[in-house]
Amino acid sequence: HVQLVESGGGSVQPGGSLRLSCAASGYTYNRNCMAWFRQAPGKEREGVASIGNGGTTRYADSVKGRITISKGNALNTLYLQMNSLKPEDTAMYYCAAVFGVYGCSSDWALLSKYPYWGQGTQVTVS
């Protein structure tokens, strides 16, 4: 079965950078939509960024210009490069994936779209 494992979280000062990774294993398709979500204490989980199998990316307005989503050469690794981090970026960050679809669409930030989730990695900016 599909497994998603995040890594790379940690504590950083405001203005700092972190790079999150998500390794996908199991039964995966080349056709997919993969995304990063985050959930701060007391808040709902929200979409951060998505990337389709064709490489098209989408971002939440709150992170545009500071955060970049990408895939590794092996296509089963997802990255989130976060720069100019702010205290409001503090959250648990989750990798999510849906396979067998032709990339992401305008509803990429809907949680129900993704059947596969990682366990999360904590990012703290203070």
Q: What is the average per-residue pLDDT within 112-120?
A: 96
In the prediction, which pLDDT does 73 show? 73
Q: Strand (E) positions, the chain?
A: 3-7, 10-12, 18-25, 32-39, 46-52, 57-59, 67-71, 77-82, 91-99, 116-117, 121-125
pLDDT tens-digit series, residues 17-64: 999 999 998 866 778 899 999 999 999 999 999 999 888 999 999 999
Q: What is the average per-residue pLDDT within 65-93?
A: 93
Return the higher-pLDDT residue of 119 and 75: 119
| pLDDT confidence tier of residue 121, bands split at 50, 70 and 90 | very high
pLDDT tens-digit series, residues 89-102: 999 999 999 988 88
Distance CA 74, CA 87 (A): 33
In the prediction, which pLDDT does 96 show? 97
Q: Cα dihedral angle (10, 12, 16, 18), rounded to 10 degrees?
A: 0
